[in-house]
Every structure is written in structure tokens, then in C-alpha cells.
Amino acid sequence: MCGIVGYVGERNAAPILLDGLQKLEYRGYDSAGIAVAEGGKFTVVKRKGRVKGLSAARSLAGKTGVGHTRWATHGAPSERNAHPHLFGGICVVHNGIVENAAALKAVCEARGETFSSETDSEVIAHLVAAEQGDLLHAVRAAAEKLVGSYAIAVLSESAPDTIVCARKASPLVVGYGEDGLFVASDIPAIAAAGRRVYTLADGEFAVLKKGTAPAFYDASLRSVEKREIAYDAEEDIPEKRGFRHFMKKEIAEVPEAVARSIPDLSKGDFSELYEVLCQTEYLHIVACGTAYHSGLCMKHAVQKFARLPAEAFIASEYRYSDPIVPKNTLAVAVSQSGETADTLAAAALAKERGARVLAVTNVPYSSLERMSDFVLPTRAGREIAVAATKSFNAQLAALYALAGALAESRGKSAPPLAGIQPLVREAAAAGERVRSWMPYFVGAKSVFFLGRGADYVAACEGSLKLKEISYLPSEGYPAGELKHGTLALVDGRTPVVAVVTDPALADKTMNAVHEVYARGAAVFLITNVSACLSCAEITASVLLPKCEPAYSPMLSSLPLQLLAYYVAIARGNDPDKPRNLAKSVTVE
């Protein structure tokens, strides 16, 4: 999703902005641009496509500037629509969505102003330019008119050594070091040893003025004292460490991510959370995409071990479904980035209706962490590839542990997770066999993933992964539901992957295997039920180690992630940067 970088200080801004934008590339974008102020005038360079297209701008002179990577929402990806946007001596970069842009634009046009882009963002430059007073007051007056979400960094020709920033529902961090002042949408863009970093809260403003410490203000422009956050500057340097892609490296990191993310909920730090678990009568899990799938896996485990009513909701649906939130509901909000707009809104709604909110997130200091009552961190380490891999398995580790604690709080028990890491490692090694499946998948018309129970959730996750990086149409389907309509789609160009890890359901899922085989499909099996391997209808298989069926997505996800990875490569796609997608979805 969109990225912001800004700098003011004693050094030339352009190289700092370009390096910062490169560090935000993993978020996904389709155009990029920078503006540098020199002698009271802005020089703007924008390009459709990658940040490297801006390299000629590296030599621009000017010690104040802002940069942006854009993920199109209003208006096609193009040079014209790329940020920064200029109007009336004001220069703006914006993340988020201005929902009332059309109405605001009409007011500006009635004043005789013309627009140079189709974006919602450009109107912010017009609004700021129309205000009197200093830049901070002008930005605040403009911000008050905006409906929607924003993180903005604003420059003015009349205040050449200053950047004013504001945030509402879109992340923004400020950095301060001997070499100057920085602003960015994400810590990695400005992380450096010795540099202090501060996060902006919703409704806050920051003024970065050369030669002074950053100043922070609340919505009424009262000065706010901020504490710097602790972060590991070293950890924030993303490296492939010999792997061809970040995605492959991150799949290789799954076993460690899992081991690190299993919390010891009996520890003192969690005693208050444990008390809440004891009182919990309903569980609402809210999340999007892959995180929603890990929520569904948790629902299965909670029902099985704790016998507690649990429901997983797609966050974007939950927030508009007028949900019933009974007394003693615990809302578990799952998000790798901790910045997903829909998940934040769903968690806020659950809280407003009386639920306690537990964040399960991979990013310390994220918006989700800050708005939640409790935090269960996943410790997957930074995930750069857009497709979630190690963060999914890390979420499962934390969520299964939580399911176990819920069971314990009711005098029941769940199988221990302690021995799972070697099994995950084995599953990763076994999963490499999918590489030989490529001839069946590369030119496929579409792909089906089948399973029952927790295997059905794994099938959905396998399908999502394949879709997003191979661009092959695909569906995860409950094995028993196929014959109620979808079987009509299956033919000789529809490979089917069946996930079978629950011995109690194995025969049932194998019935679906017979049905698709009879329609000409090549069938691939991911299983730990060895009896299934003797089925003559199977084209190829991956044999996983045995484990508690409710936990098996932790293992079956590995061959599925690898399958998506190898198919993407075989089809000539970049698995790290799938088209149209963003890592951190900060707009609704």
C-alpha cells in the first residue's frame, strides 16, 4: 500500500527519500515520486512503475523533501496520479482515502481551481493552500474537512525548512537524529542506529523544522510530549540471505517463527489476560485474508478443546454487520501488520460494544497493538514478501496456545504445542516434493483445493496463496460440498489438491477425490494418513508427519506455500511483488 518518506536537515534530501522509498517497496505500489524544495521552489519527479525509475532524481539539490509510493485507489496508476501533488505553493503526499474528495473538489472548482490528477489526495493540497496562517494551522484546518483516513506530509514554498505531518487511521512515524528529521509511514524507511523514533497517534500533528527537535500536537494543537519507541535498527534491514526471493526465505523461517511465537501463557505477564479468559463466554475473531484463515483455524481448536462458542469473521464484513456482541465476549483481532484498516475498524466496533480486545500482531507499536486491551505478539520477524507465509504459521502458534489456555481456564486441556517445531521442519522438507508437480499446474485452467474441518481451512489458505502470486483462478472448497454445484467446473485441466490430515475424516475426503478423478482431474494429496497413499487415483503426494488434527494447518500450509511459490516462478511471476497487491492494507 502507499508509502511516505520525508526529510528535512543538513543533507541533500533526494538520496534519503529514494533509499527510504526502496525500503517501503515491499508494501506494494504502482507509481512513485519525490519533491525536493530548493530556493523556495519545488522540483518534482514522478514515474509509473518502480522506485528505480526515479534514479535520475538522486542528484537533485535541496535539503527538504517528501517522497511517496502509490497504490492506486482513485485514478489509474500513472505519472499524473502519482504523488507528490502540488497546488498553490503547497506540496502533499498522502496515504489513505479521502472519502468526501468529490464534494471537496467541487468546492475548490467553484473557486476556479483546476486539478491536475484524478486522485482524491490532490484536494488536500488545494485545501491547505486555501488556508491562512502558518503551515501547522493550515494543515489542521484542512484536515478537519477530510472524511476518511489519512497520513500526510506537507511542504510549503513559504516555509522551506519545515514539514507538517498529520495522521488519522493511517500510520506515520517520525525520526530524529543528528543528521536531521524524518517522517515515514513505516519504521524501516527511517530506521538507523542512534535515530530516535516516535509514532503519531490518531488526530495528532507533527512539525519537523530544520535544526530543532520534532514538535507534536494533539487535535486542538496543544503540545504533546512523546516517548521514543524502542526498535531494532539492525532487524529492520531486509536481506534475502542467499535466497532468490524473500518468500522462499520466509518459508524457510517458518519453524523458528513458530517456536518463537508459542507464548507461555502461564507467565506473570499474562495473568490479567488469563483472568479475562476465565470470564470469556464468546470469542469473536476478526481478521482479513490469511489472518482470517488463521482465525478460522483457532475457531476449530477452541471449539474442540475449550468447547467455547467461537466465530471467525472477515473484518470488512463484521464492521457493517451490526454484530451482536454478548457480555463477556473477547474479540481477538489478528493482523500481521497491525495496520489493516478493516481489522482495526472491526476491533474498534467490538470494543465499542463491550468486548475486550486482544491483538495478535507481528508489529510492535502498530495501531492494532495500541488500541487493544491485551497483546499476544507473534514473533515471525519482518515479513517482506507480500504473500503471508511465516506470519500465518506464527499466528497459528499464538492462537493455538490461546485455545489451549481457554481450555485450561475451563478445566479442560489441549495437546501441548511444545514438540511441534521439528514436525514443522519435517513438513517443510517434505513439501519440496511439490516442485515436481509443476507440469500439471503451470498451464492449468483453474485449481481446486479440498479438505474438511481444519483441512478445509488449510485448503482455503493454499488457494489464496496460489491465486495471489500465480494469478491462476483457484478455490478452496469443503470436500463434501463439491457435488452441490462446483463439480461442474472440474475437467482434465483442473488439478485438484486434497488436504487429508484428520484420520476421522480421511475416507470422507477421499470420496471427493474419487469424484474429481472420475471427471478427469489429476489429484495431488497432502496427507499424514498413510493409508490414503495407496489410492491408485493419486498423481503425486506429500507425506506429512502425524500431529493433532486441529493443529495440522501448521504443517500442511508448508507444501501449500511452496506450491504457490514454485507455480508463480514457473509462470514467470515475481512471487515477492504480486501485481495489484499491497503488504499492508491501510485503506478500507
Q: Which chain residues interact with ligand F6R by CB under 6 A?
A: 288-291, 335-337, 340, 343, 387-388, 464, 468, 584-585
The residue written with cell numbers 514443522 in the block is: 424
Coil, strand or helix at 165 = strand
Closest approach of ligand F6R to the CB of residue 247, in Å: 10
Closest approach of ligand F6R to the CB of residue 136, in Å: 32
Give the residue with the Cβ less far from ligand F6R, 162 or 336.
Answer: 336
Give the residue with the Cβ less far from ligand F6R, 457 or 585.
Answer: 585
- Catalytic annotation on 165? no
Which amino acid, residue 70? R
Distance of CA 57 to the CA centre of its chain: 30
Give the residue with the Cβ less far from ligand F6R, 42 or 392.
Answer: 392
Closest approach of ligand F6R to the CB of residue 334, in Å: 7
DSSP secondary structure of 236-252? TS---TT-SSHHHHHHH
- One-letter-per-residue 3-state SS of 360-394: EECCCCCHHHHHCCEEEECCCCCCCCCCCCHHHHH
Closest approach of ligand F6R to the CB of residue 371, in Å: 14
Closest C-alpha to 494, from 510, 478, 511, 518: 518
- Catalytic annotation on 249? no
Q: Inter-axis angle of helices 553-570 and 390-409, to 10 degrees?
A: 170
Distance of CA 578 to the CA centre of its chain: 14
Closest approach of ligand F6R to the CB of residue 368, in Å: 8
Which amino acid, residue 431? G
| Region for 319 from its dihedrals, namely left if φ exceeds 0, alpha if ψ lies in -120 to 50, beta otherwise | alpha
Give the residue with the Cβ less far from ligand F6R, 42 or 292.
Answer: 292
Retrieve residue 277's grid coordinates: 479468559
The residue written with cell numbers 517456536 in the block is: 259
Give the residue with the Cβ less far from ligand F6R, 369 or 468.
Answer: 468
Closest approach of ligand F6R to the CB of residue 571, in Å: 17
Q: One of 2, 165, 297, 547 is an active-site residue; which one?
A: 2
Closest approach of ligand F6R to the CB of residue 464, in Å: 6
Q: How many CB atoms lie within 10 A of CB 235?
A: 12
CA distance 438 to 456: 23
Give the residue with the Cβ less far from ligand F6R, 119 or 343.
Answer: 343
Give the residue with the Cβ less far from ligand F6R, 474 or 584.
Answer: 584
CA distance 490 to 513: 12
Per-residue exposure over 41-76, b if at least 16 CB sit within 10 Å of its own CB, e if not:
ebebbbbbebbebbeebeebebbbbbbbbbbbbebe
CA distance 582 to 101: 23
Q: One of 23, 168, 577, 583 is an active-site residue; which one?
A: 583
Give the residue with the Cβ less far from ligand F6R, 123 or 499.
Answer: 499
Closest approach of ligand F6R to the CB of residue 582, in Å: 8
Q: Burial of 40 by CB count in 10 Å (0-12 exposed, 13-18 middle, 19+ buried)?
A: exposed
The residues pairing with 313 across neighbouring beta strands, listed in sequence order, are 286
CA distance 75 to 156: 25
The conformation of residue 37, written as its DSSP 8-state character, comes to E
Per-residue exposure over 337-346, b if at least 16 CB sit within 10 Å of its own CB, e if not:
bbbbbbbbbb
Give the residue with the Cβ less far from ligand F6R, 351 or 546.
Answer: 351
- One-letter-per-residue 3-state SS of 52-120: HHHHHHHHCCCCEEEEEEECCCCCCCCCCCCCCEEECCEEEEEECCECCHHHHHHHHHHCCCCCCCCCC
- Is residue 454 within a helix (H) or strand (E), and if so which, with residue range? helix 454-470
Closest approach of ligand F6R to the CB of residue 302, in Å: 20
Closest approach of ligand F6R to the CB of residue 473, in Å: 16
Coil, strand or helix at 524 = strand
**Residue whose CB is nearest to ligand F6R in the complex, by number:** 289
Give the residue with the Cβ less far from ligand F6R, 152 or 388.
Answer: 388
> For the chain, what percentages of helix, strand and coil (3-state, to nearest 5) are there?
40, 25, 40
Catalytic positions = 2, 583
